[in-house]
A and B are shown apart, each in its own frame.
Chain A
């Protein structure tokens, strides 16, 4: 009957050391985009409801009976050093595993697309068949309970730069959750929607156009705030709960989405906080204001990238051009 404190206290101490190590290093800051960088990926829609066989009314995705709706996948991959040389892009799909790579020999891998594109935005369509989904269902340890999570891995090669592997999850699900004994009827289950920003406020000015050029005082810190409808993007949704013994029945519980907004800039500009989370283990956040420092030389430009993501694979991305005046 060993005390677990002997395991947890050293782990806490090691975490402190790790935080110390990270904070005290000289690595380039993550929020500054210098070379080839995947910024964000969006799947539209992020969650697809599928048709399943009769009797699958307990929250399981048991057997898909029809090909699901296609999913459009939008990428933002940039390279401030070279925005013209085409990238070779290979996209494959597999069941989601912890590494987010499609390299587990026990999982079936399907080729999705091969394309070429210069850095910037590019898109493709993912259209798995019912047979393919059923193959992945049979490989899933939960047999699809709570959803079938498929990873799209994009392998991006631009000559002269390290290969980038970019992973994105597409969720296939059923449009219902089971009702457990003694539970009220479950609320309607809707597929996840991508969260969006209504605009970005720079001090007093509001920018709502993607790709817009914003002129700001050179070298001076300017308050910056993402504008969004929190009620709309923080969806409430039911998830099925599974029984852990024979005398239990499946049921559901209600969860609230959380989201985060992330910022990047190209060299010349600086950011205050580059990541704003709606909720943290330490408590909810109500202040989403950060700041940006434009380039120091009037006329110089930097690119600002923004992404908003929820915790169910939904997301959107935006670009602004910051010009110093």
Chain B
């Protein structure tokens, strides 16, 4: 009988709830952490890998002194020979060639001969030793022969310079940076910590110069006294990405048909995403636009529950605070996000839509770094640093404080208010340890907590005003052991334990749920032959659900009167302790016959589920193939089976149907990747997927018995009768992150059909696809960001796409039992909201100081305040309607300091 009556007070409450739910993650820009000297090796990508990153420059460990050429002794001249050294991945100089004009007099040859004997600690690209070429200046100074012992030469008065070379803003050391006084011909290379000692400097006025290929040179003018020691601290400003020619060893795995990867730069600076990396994914093809700021994933026409979000391969229950606020992982902890819209590798399962796998960042800083950010709604801290040479730690914490502000406002205004008090916090901490060789051990702990308190308005006359308390959150502890027992074998063993909790206390509704979760992944990679890689793995998941509730539930064993609404149902005490298990074994082979242009990746994953004393098995065979017609053009295709269990509570014996089948889908895809230029790629894929045995709500009842009685009445509640189909084309034209520019154009043409298989349910395909009100046939996103001189960066995002589908109301009936009108709905999703279009802009400025950086940005969503209706609302008689507009122009800004 109870009906949510919307009064002005409650409407204001809902407005405030929506606005506080829309808490953005302000100010997330931060400098690249140069302290990261090693990162995990990149995995396979369907797209060409982004440019490798120099994570450690080469370090000279063995200098060989050249002989002063005989030919030059007569002139006793000094010389500086400019060389280009090619250093291999083991640190040996494989080639030394002259750069620029020859010096002559034998200096060039002597320098080259000596340089070829240098030994370096090798450079590292993306954390792995890699070949590199560097510039090197070999300086010659004539030193006359020592005088006879009986002649005591008068000691020359000299000075000494000591100091350190570090990068401006980050404070990271610049190892190997040449530091010297060119006029005196003295030079040394900074050591691994950036420190240097320059002996034998003649007193007087000098110019001390520090340089580095990646940094702007710095000149310090000093006046030295005899015997003086002066400490000089250099702070070099970083120029741009490494200009060195690099060779990447090994290629990323290409076991999924389509894999779209975003790196750190792209994760933080896309306009309209509040600086939240996980929201950037929603701008890629294959994902429908979500209304307002809802943080759900709508992948190729599937429902949000059909896709999985993982952190380091383990699924997490929540991605965003309050379903629309900041994501539960701050940008500093993210290394990369991979999005698989379909046809993903057998490594992933228990999903029939798409996969988002967030890889957390592994940091090996040489020094302590950190950042602090604060905005209108939350404050956060991040720190990372070395515990030992082989152990590093990073940690982050964030907490909102809007509740404090609202309580303060209530106290100041001295009037009772209907108050919505959201509180959220999240935390992450990680310890990384080098075991030896390439073996690594890491421990990651992270968690999130959302708490919402609603304090009712005592002045509201319309009915009960209960205070509401709701909480939602999770905690996880994950261990990872990456080992390389042989050159051909590597594995990753990763157990995880965690707990999820939900709770609500709202008048008659009381519920507390706890889920204790255990997971284990073991991924094994074997280079079986030159052209064969085998991957196998184990994916275990156990979930123990404990639920205690006192709620007015959908009735289980009696038939209520049609006029008995939600509010009139008696509360049922519900106690549940359920163990749900899943185990999967998978294997796949990546075979490139003869190392040739064709790569085949067949695989199979077998999943076992056990829930409510039911056992289910499912085998998912999948195959993907790639054919590199040229270095720049690759055809790709794939097909596969994907399965998942229905949502847990639809399997409950009392309120669901434990006989539901597993839901499964077929995915098919065909497309190409075309590397148009070094930085520009085009990725096109056509897809088709069909979904089967989806759990749908059912009104059917099975009555067994005869005229004198009956054996049982079984309302089905849910049945595995739902089907769905999605097909379309996705295009991504992407400019990789370079010195100044990145961006992409994404376009999706998508159609979705769905049929519940129930009488009176959705059916057929219409203009709106007949299934899913959020199905959008056309969806285009343009993203671009450009870095200007003076550390300014501007960006834009423009979105153009179909409006949401809608179901028209074609009539109304006054319900005399309940006292309100009921709308009579027409065919599902056969009308559509107007075209959606929105422009978002972002402007950002970074100030680099000696020891720290300050970044500030302004992000303006919906610059020209487009209406973009998302829904249609009706009056009480369904005779008049009004469009509910989308978010209006919405500015956000933030500042962040880091050191």
C-beta contact mask, B554-567 vs A, less than 8 Å → 1, else 0? 00111111111111
Instruction: Tell me the bound Cα distance from A3 to B303 in angstroms.
Output: 13
Docked-complex contact B464 and A141, CB < 8 angstroms:
no
Question: Is A174's CB within 8 Å of the partner chain B?
Answer: no
Instruction: Tell me the bound Cα distance from A169 to B815 in angstroms.
Output: 9
Q: Which residues of B contact A307 (CB under 8 A)?
A: 819
Q: Which residues in window 273-294 of A have CB below 8 A to B?
A: 273, 275-277, 279-285, 287, 289-291
Q: Which residues of B contact A279 (CB under 8 A)?
A: 2, 508, 567-568
Docked-complex contact A280 and B710, CB < 8 angstroms:
no
For A55, the closest partner residue in chain B by CB is: B708
Question: Is B709's CB within 8 Å of the partner chain A?
Answer: yes
- Which of A13, A56, A162 contacts B879 (CB under 8 A)? A162
Question: Is A311's CB within 8 Å of the partner chain B?
Answer: yes
- Which of A4, A22, A169 contacts B305 (CB under 8 A)? A4
C-beta contact mask, A141-169 vs B, less than 8 Å → 1, else 0? 11101110100010000000010111111
B332 to chain A minimum Cβ distance, whole angstroms, is: 25
Q: Which residues of A contact B8 (CB under 8 A)?
A: 23
Which of A101, A169, A171, A311 has most chain B Cβ within 10 Å? A311
Instruction: Tell me the bound Cα distance from A231 to B557 in angstroms.
Output: 27
Which of A1, A56, A96, A101 has most chain B Cβ within 10 Å? A1
Q: Which residues of B contact A23 (CB under 8 A)?
A: 6-8, 10-12, 14-15
Docked-complex contact A27 and B2, CB < 8 angstroms:
no
Q: Which residues of B contact A232 (CB under 8 A)?
A: none
Docked-complex contact B461 and A273, CB < 8 angstroms:
yes
A318 to chain B minimum Cβ distance, whole angstroms, is: 14
Instruction: Tell me the bound Cα distance from A62 to B582 in angstroms.
Output: 45
Instruction: Tell me the bound Cα distance from A6 to B3 in angstroms.
Output: 25
Which of A14, A23, A291 has most chain B Cβ within 10 Å? A23
List the one stretch of A118-126, A181-189, A198-206, A236-244 in contact with chain B.
A236-244
Q: A17-B884, A312-B564 are in contact. Are A2 and B350 (CB under 8 A)?
A: yes
Question: Is B864's CB within 8 Å of the partner chain A?
Answer: no
For A282, the closest partner residue in chain B by CB is: B507
Q: Which residues of B contact A143 (CB under 8 A)?
A: 703, 710
Q: Which residues in window 696-724 of B have CB below 8 A to A?
A: 699-701, 703, 707-714
Docked-complex contact B813 and A21, CB < 8 angstroms:
no
Question: Is A235's CB within 8 Å of the partner chain B?
Answer: no
Which of B541, B646, B710 has most chain A Cβ within 10 Å? B710
C-beta contact mask, B642-656 vs A, less than 8 Å → 1, else 0? 001111110000100
Docked-complex contact A13 and B559, CB < 8 angstroms:
no
Q: Which residues of A contact B317 (CB under 8 A)?
A: 3, 5-6
Interface residue tally for chain A (C-beta within 8 Å):
97
For A100, the closest partner residue in chain B by CB is: B813
Question: Is A40's CB within 8 Å of the partner chain B?
Answer: yes
Q: Which residues of B contact A13 (CB under 8 A)?
A: 21, 292, 294, 322-324
Docked-complex contact B880 and A100, CB < 8 angstroms:
no
Question: Is A175's CB within 8 Å of the partner chain B?
Answer: no
Q: A58-B710, A141-B701 are in contact. Are A282 and B506 (CB under 8 A)?
A: yes
For A9, the closest partner residue in chain B by CB is: B323
- Which of A9, A26, A167 contacts B813 (CB under 8 A)? A167
Docked-complex contact A99 and B822, CB < 8 angstroms:
yes
Question: Is A295's CB within 8 Å of the partner chain B?
Answer: no
Question: Is B812's CB within 8 Å of the partner chain A?
Answer: yes
Q: A1-B582, A273-B462 are in contact. Are A7 and B871 (CB under 8 A)?
A: no
Instruction: Tell me the bound Cα distance from A92 to B644 in angstroms.
Output: 47
Q: Which residues of A contact B824 (CB under 8 A)?
A: 99, 101
- Beyond contacts A23-B11, A171-B561, A244-B654: 4 other A-B pairs, Cβ-Cβ < 8 A, are A2-B646, A276-B463, A282-B464, A311-B565
Q: Which 8 A-B pairs have the closest CB atoms?
A: A23-B11, A146-B559, A282-B507, A41-B816, A283-B507, A27-B875, A9-B323, A282-B466
- 24 A–B contacts, CB within 8 A, in A order: A2-B305, A2-B645, A5-B502, A7-B303, A9-B472, A20-B18, A23-B8, A23-B11, A30-B820, A41-B816, A100-B815, A101-B824, A142-B559, A145-B713, A147-B561, A164-B814, A165-B812, A167-B815, A242-B557, A243-B711, A281-B508, A309-B563, A310-B1, A313-B561
